[in-house]
Structure 1
């Protein structure tokens, strides 16, 4: 099992600094965030993130991305892409960039449930996904579908319906511990077993629910989800690694810690030690 950092979680650092710091702490790899974003000062996870490569002009930046990653001694655990499944042009651009970088796999975003009937939207998305898998096959890379709240792939069961029957050599699913706290939670081991050969990647973060202080018109208490340090959220990270060990997963685990209680460098240092201790304990118990 190898450990990497998704650079959405390192908004304070420019790319070269992010790669150097992540490597110095002892992480094995990096998962670059690639998207056009709104400016923000101070930088945030989703806007003004300094460790994000813009989608605009991506092709010209590939040599620099490769150089910074290589000089830090890091591997690519994949690419954190934001191209929507129906946007064939941008999906193809990210697939080509992934192939050129030797990064092997890239996330393609699934749509949110909306005005369209869920089954109709899922069927349409499946067609887009099948097209992306055809392109990925030609390029020798893999399309990743993430378990993500407020999308049509919020759970392992939902994601499996999207990918079932497609070539698992070129499409897979990212199992995400923290996202499942918000929506889509299934027993971790059962979810992995549902995905089977489509379980291609793992993201780890944690979340918790808290009262907003508001009540609805009928007096119902309103809650909101917030990101939490790995030890403090609702999900049990040690239990999660025991499930991964029982399932037999031994691939990349990418950190997405969006908590802010601890300074960034200290947070990444502690997170790596904690993840490794959880993985070692789970391996010893299996």
Structure 2
């Protein structure tokens, strides 16, 4: 396995700081966040994130992205895009940018639930992915669909229905263990076996459910909360055992949105923990 960090989770660092810090800690790669975001007084995961490249004018930034990544000695685990699958012009731009960088694959986002009737959202997205697969083949890259709560693909079961029959060399699935704590949890091994050749990428974070109050009927109200990798409800030891059982040896990208530790300590300790889980020993 190779380990990278998604820069959504490194908001205090500039791109150069992120690449150099991660390389110094021994990470293999980086997954750049690409989206137009809102400004913020303080850098945050979703707004004011300093390690995010804008979608507007992205083409002008490609030489700088390449220079920063390669000068740090990092590889791309992929590009973390936020373009909805239905926005074909921008999907094409992301495919072209991914090819120009040699990054291999790029995420496109799936429709949120309740933005239409599920069957219609599903059918439209299938047509969009069929089109994207054809365009990805032209660019020599692939499109990634992430298992994500509150979308039409919160589980491996939903994702395999969506992508089955498309070319797995051009359309793959990101399995995200943290998102599945919120919605879509299935047995890890069964999920990997369901996806088969479509299991293209892995995201790792962790989540804990905590009581936040009481409803009017007297029942307890719960809410999800980002947790350090060892402390959430996802059993990451069992997760890595299941990855090993199906022979997964690809990229594992961390997107840790917990804030218990300062950023540099968090990324350092996460890499050590992942190496322990995967049976790897640090060299150097």
Q: Normalising to structure 1: TM-score of the pair?
A: 0.97
For residues 112-144 of structure 1, what are the alpha-carbon distances to aligned partners after superposition, in whole Å with 9 as ceiling and x for unaligned?
111522111101110011111110010000000
1:218 Cα shift?
2.4
The 2-side partners of 1:34 and 1:115 are apart by 23
The 1-side partners of 2:271 and 2:51 are apart by 19
| Aligned residue in 1 for 2:94 | 94
1:222 Cα shift?
1.3
Superposition pairs of residues 269-280 of structure 1, within 5 angstroms: 269-280=268-279
CA-atom RMSD in angstroms: 0.8
1:69 Cα shift?
0.1
The 1-side partners of 2:37 and 2:84 are apart by 15
1:127 maps to 2:135: no
The 1-side partners of 2:158 and 2:40 are apart by 34
1:42 Cα shift?
1.2
| Aligned residue in 2 for 1:188 | 188
1:2 Cα shift?
0.3
| Aligned residue in 2 for 1:250 | 249
1:166 maps to 2:160: no
Structure 1 pair 115–18 and aligned structure 2 pair: CA distance change class (3 A): closer
| Aligned residue in 2 for 1:211 | 211
| Aligned residue in 2 for 1:284 | none
**Structure 1: which 4+ aligned runs deviate by more than 2 Å?**
217-220
| Aligned residue in 1 for 2:226 | 227
1:220 Cα shift?
2.6
The 1-side partners of 2:272 and 2:115 are apart by 44
1:237 maps to 2:230: no
Where do 5+ consecutive residues of structure 2 fail to align? Answer: none
The 2-side partners of 1:150 and 1:182 are apart by 9
Q: Secondary structure at the match of 1:83?
A: coil
For residues 221-277 of structure 1, what are the alpha-carbon distances to aligned partners after superposition, in whole Å with 9 as ceiling and x for unaligned?
211101100010001111110000001100000001000000000011100000001
Q: Secondary structure at the match of 1:5?
A: strand
| Aligned residue in 1 for 2:17 | 17
Superposition pairs of residues 33-52 of structure 1, within 5 angstroms: 33-52=33-52
The 1-side partners of 2:42 and 2:117 are apart by 40
Structure 1 pair 22–196 and aligned structure 2 pair: CA distance change class (3 A): same
How many residues matched? 280
The 1-side partners of 2:59 and 2:20 are apart by 23
1:6 Cα shift?
0.2
Where do 5+ consecutive residues of structure 1 fail to align? Answer: 282-286
The 2-side partners of 1:149 and 1:12 are apart by 26
Q: Secondary structure at the match of 1:157?
A: helix
Q: Normalising to structure 2: TM-score of the pair?
A: 0.97
Structure 1 pair 106–115 and aligned structure 2 pair: CA distance change class (3 A): closer
| Aligned residue in 1 for 2:5 | 5
